[in-house]
Structure 1
Amino acid sequence: MVVLIGVYMFIEVPNLNPLFFDGAVFWAVIITGFVAVWGMFRFGEIIIQLNPDVSQGERPVNYVSRRKFPKWTKFLLAAPWIFIVLTLIFSSVFIQWKAYRDQLGTSQVMEFASDMQAVDLRQVPVVDKELALNLADKKLGERPSLGSQVVKGEATIQRVNGKLVWVVPLQHSGVFKWLTNLSGTPGYVMVSATDVNDVEYVENFKIKYQENSYLLHDITRHVRFHGGWFTGIADPSFELDDNGQPYWVYTTYKNLRGFSLPEATGAYVVNATTGEMNRYTIDTIPEWVDRIQPESFIINQIDNKGEYVRGWLNFADKDKFRSSEGHMIVYNNGRCYLFTGMTSVGSDDSAIGFIMVDMVTKDSMVYQMSGATERAAQQSAEGKVQHLGYRATFPLIINLGNEPTYFMALKDKEGLIKQYAFVSVTNYSIVGTGETIQLAEQDYRLGLKSAGISAGIADTSTQTKAQGVVLRIASEILGGDTEYKIILENQQDKIYLLGAVLSDELALTQVGDKVVIEYMDSGDGVLQAVSFDNLSFSQK
């Protein structure tokens, strides 16, 4: 039995802390097994018959009890299971519903326009996890010998030196590949979240410790054998420091009530190359670590807050809410957040607000505004291009000129990005699509203008007005949308880009006409116009 227990502990590396459910069950089974076997030999006898008479109903192995088990042995057998049952009852929602409701804490109510950072459309993430893995796979395909040795691990979005990227670790494709590469797999693939053409294979760092690896090279087994036997651990995340060194950030947690309400307390940070490991609290975690709070913990806490807002006897569902069907990791003012909508129970398409939770400290902010859920926004965007059969990625909510806006990519059946879409949160019938982000934005702004929404038409902090005489004008068609390019006589070093949707006057504008252009200055000499007026028409 000792040998079997040792093998089980090495393979499954369970939590041995009896204050956690899996640890309590482990010790209950151990105590039950040892006491039962000891009692059988102590108070009885096992008789083995080498030639049993089957016709007489004799069995080859029989157990004969010489006397009854003492009461103390029965108590010892029952005690651990009684402890588990009582703890489950004590930590149930029927008794602890206030703790379930309040675990997330009090959220700070924020104004979206002033507190959500305005987004730079050149830095908006367009690559989702599925596309990141496909791009990483394509990058590995450039090295045929490497593709047969490794497989892709879980992609993690993170900010590295100010750049938003997906990082995909390379893992052993089998036990024989592991045996021939005990020093680790050769690196990872880094995919830009904002540029599908920016994919880099980094081979300067070995990844010796991996998820689902073998023997002591498995990251969970490594953490357990180096001090983590009695600690709750969850959600290993693959992250890079500012020098590109890969680490595993393994969340540590405790239960607030019995076996329930797991609460993150810090993390083990493990060097994926050397295995060097340090334990940190939330307050002492290195600045480059983006995430400690497991996403599943946060979503459960949001749902519990909405489910038990008026206790567990609220059968009328008064004031109940839940998180949206999906969520996204976003960055705001340099911090990593989980962002999701909140919708009333029973409502499928309308959100009552949005919540943003810091993935390190768990501080939360609520934006109280009604609007469409993420799924409703996806359906609205897909409806505008239904003739093309594109599917929308999970949307990112952004601050576009103080207007809360969903942004998403539209992909074909092969998973390639074909168009982009902007959808108003407050009125999801306003949709803008285009082959480029700029064209989609122009289409969206026109929709806002038609709906009488002026707050989102322009970001005045970067908006500039230019007036002059047209030196050159030309047009080109991009994905079915016409875009004009204009150079003014007094600003010959600048090119103004204007979508045809901005004004009907563009098609009639000629060289020599006097015009006024309002534009967004991106700082690269190419200026994206947001409005256009041909003064020559009014003068004539």
Structure 2
Amino acid sequence: MRKMLSRCLVILLLAIMAVTYWIFLPPLNLLSTGFWFFLLEGMLLTVLGLCLLGMVDSFQFKGAKLFSGRKEVTTVSGKYGKIITRLGAGIVLMLALGFFMSIFNSRLFRAKSYAAVISVKEADFNQDFPETDISKLALLDRSSAEKIGDTYLGTIDRVSQFGISDDYRQVTIGQQPYRVSPLEYKNFWKWLSNRKEGISYYVKVNQTTGKAELVRLEQAMKYSDSEYMFRDTLRYLRFKYPFTIFGEPSFEVDDEGNPYYVATVYQPKFMLTSNDPVGVILLNAATGETKEYDLDHIPEWVDRVYSADNVITRVDDYYTYQDGFWNTVFSQTGVKHTTDSYNYISIGSDIYLYTGITSATADSSNLGFILVNMRTREVTNYKLASATESAAMESAEGEVQEKKYKATAPTLAKLNDKAYYIVSLKDDAGLVKSYAVVDAEDYQQVTVNNDIQSLISQFTDVDTSVLSGTVVPSGESDKDLEVIKGVVEQLASQMISGSTVYYISSSGKIYKVKATEESIDQLPFLKVGDHFTGELTKNNFLQNFKIEVKKTD
């Protein structure tokens, strides 16, 4: 019976370990904490199995002694005690070493080593920050791109079998900013029915114009995150690279539109802690071909090697621990950190993360902006005293507080040698209703307009016609707006959030006109009896307001 039980326990142990490996896919690498947890699980299961066998032997021994009077010593302590003790000691030793190593390699003891992982180039915003290319201005955030992209799902074949992944990763295609996302199987049963044909589409949304395209592939994708077996991207790569430490594969497309999954390869910087990228693995989603690159030879079309978390953490370490750990606790001399908001901008063919840098005691002011190339992690600090992103968002919301719009994370732009935040304003349904330009150096200066082309044209001399086709995913366009013509019967005004709002009574209705920099010069001289025209928007506001001047003989 003991032999049968031993075999069953061995099979059960192997089965549990196989299931664990199948689910968590730890790298078989001594530098991976995942591997050591996997090994600890095996040791703990072995101890439990030996204890169970020892208990069975103990019962058999007591039974044999009771009925035959034999005094064989076949107890837990006798047969399995040494093995269990050694395994237990090994487990305790591994846990203790892991604990002390994590403490020793923490920022408490190695603060300056963490600060030295990256270097930062210092520059001046006014002189060195590149002028924003309007044709590459990324206006749509992820949620807005998702709303636009999802409207195209009904145009595909077998629409009931697929959904659109919520990835919507920002990339550059031909130096133009896009968000791309592949289709995915809706569930396990849909996968069973369609896995032979694969996935034939992905969605790309132009972040400048808001126009989406459902791209049909010449060769369908057979490897994706929605696969369930060996063609799941993470599982497929793990079995091809069992000893390599890499992160979750992410979807990208090259400049020709071919689909790939990019998995960043990592190594710990300090023994088993603080993983940092050392290369990438590229997986062709259609053919399954893979290739590993080191950091110096990554193809230029790859947009993101470094994650936002990695970049923010390294930048914070650089600015926080230059003078050691205890300086951050007591005097905080020279301690800075990133703000609580970041976004991406496209420069050339690369994606850059930007965020503000503020002092440890600052609340609403930046000392400058950090710009980080997400493919190379080249970091530049552009010095400029400005408002934080959060302060700019609050200022933009205050400008339209009567509408209760919510601001998205702003886009940093340099227009005519001056820094601005461009903020999208959304309603409760998450639809973009308006845009705001906030002066980064004086965030109380806010200009709001529903038309992004007209708005941007007020701050730059370059051609903004590329923005004329910008899609606002609210379902509302200029063509849908009702044109109002009337005569001013009564007139009043009041100040709201620092802006003058004119109230016009005409034909029994009240219309509102907000005074902004683009308002016509005659607006302050509006009087009873004047004829006017305008386009009616929500809450009875008029845009493109004009006063008809009477001709005199």
Instruction: Provide the TM-score with structure 1 as the length reference.
Output: 0.76
> Which residue of 5, 12, 18 maps to 2:30?
18
Matched residue, 1:187: 201
Code of the aligned partner of 1:186: S
- From 188, 193, 199, give the equivalent of 2:213: 199
2:166 corresponds to which of 153, 157, 170: 153
Q: 1:279 is matched with which residue: 284, 292, 296?
A: 292
Q: CA distance change for structure 1 residues 202 and 383 in 2, over 3 Å: closer, same or farther?
A: farther
C-alpha contact (below 8 Å) 1:190/1:202 kept by paired residues? no
- Residues 153 and 163 of structure 2 are in contact (CA less than 8 Å); yes or no, is this contact kept in structure 1? no
Cα deviation for residue 440 of structure 1 reads: 2.2
Partner residue in 2 for 1:534: none
Asked if the contact 1:208–1:274 (Cα under 8 Å) also holds between the matched residues in 2, the reply is: yes
- Residue 211 of structure 1, CA deviation: 1.9
1:86 aligns with 2:100: yes
Q: Does 1:424 align with 2:439?
A: yes
1:106 paired residue number: 119
Provide the secondary structure at the position in 1 that maps to 2:296. coil
2:380 paired with 1:393:
no
Which digits, 9 at most, give the CA deviation of each residue in 1:47-85, with x for residues without a partner?
Answer: 379x9xxxxxxxxxx974336527755544444333323
Q: Are 1:174 and 2:190 an aligned pair?
A: no
SS of the counterpart of 2:57? strand
Q: Post-superposition shift, 1:269?
A: 0.2
Contact 1:110/1:367 (8 A) holds in 2:
yes
CA RMSD of aligned residues (A): 3.3
Structure 2 distance, partners of 1:111, 1:214, is: 50
Matched, 1:320 2:335: yes
Alpha-carbon distance change, 74 to 124 in structure 1, aligned in 2, over 3 angstroms? closer
CA distance in 1, matches of 2:245, 2:321: 26
Task: Note the C-alpha offset of 1:152.
Answer: 2.1
Residue of structure 1 equivalent to 2:518: 501
Q: Which gives a bigger RCO, structure 1 or 2 (Cα 8 Å, sep 6+)?
A: 2
Contact 2:139 2:207 in 1 (8 A): yes
- 2-structure distance, mates of 1:207, 1:43: 54
Change (3 A) 1:205 1:422: farther
- 1:26-48 CA-to-partner distances (Å, cap 9, x unmatched) read 22332344366458758993537
Deviation readout 1:311-333 (Å, 9 max, x if unpaired)? 22122333222212121121223
Q: Distance in 1 between matches of 2:153 and 2:479?
A: 35
Q: Note the 1:261-410 alignment, pairs <5 A.
A: 261-314=274-327, 315-316=329-330, 317-410=332-425
Across the two proteins, how many residue pairs are aligned to each other?
A: 454
CA change 1:256–1:300 in 2 (3 A) is same
Counterpart AA for 2:354:
F
| Amino acid aligned to 1:45 | D
Specify the SS of the correspondent of 1:249.
strand
- Give unmatched runs, 5+ long, in structure 1: 52-61, 446-457, 464-475, 483-498, 509-540
Provide the secondary structure at the position in 1 that maps to 2:306. Answer: coil
Normalised TM-score (structure 2): 0.75
Q: Say if 1:433 and 1:441, in contact at 8 Å, map to a contact too.
A: no
1:182 is displaced (CA, Å) by 1.3
Find 2:228's aligned residue among 214, 219, 233: 214
Distance 1:128 1:202, change over 3 A: farther
| Cα distance change, pair 422–478 in 1 and its aligned pair in 2 (3 A) | farther
Q: Which has the higher helix share?
A: 2
| C-alpha contact 1:24 1:84 (8 A) present in aligned 2 | no
1:4 equivalent in alignment to 2:4: no
The structural deviation recorded for 1:218 is: 1.1
Cα distance in 1 between the residues matched to 2:23 and 2:88 = 31
User: Structure 1's 46 and 226: CA in aligned 2 closer, same or farther, altered over 3 A?
Assistant: farther
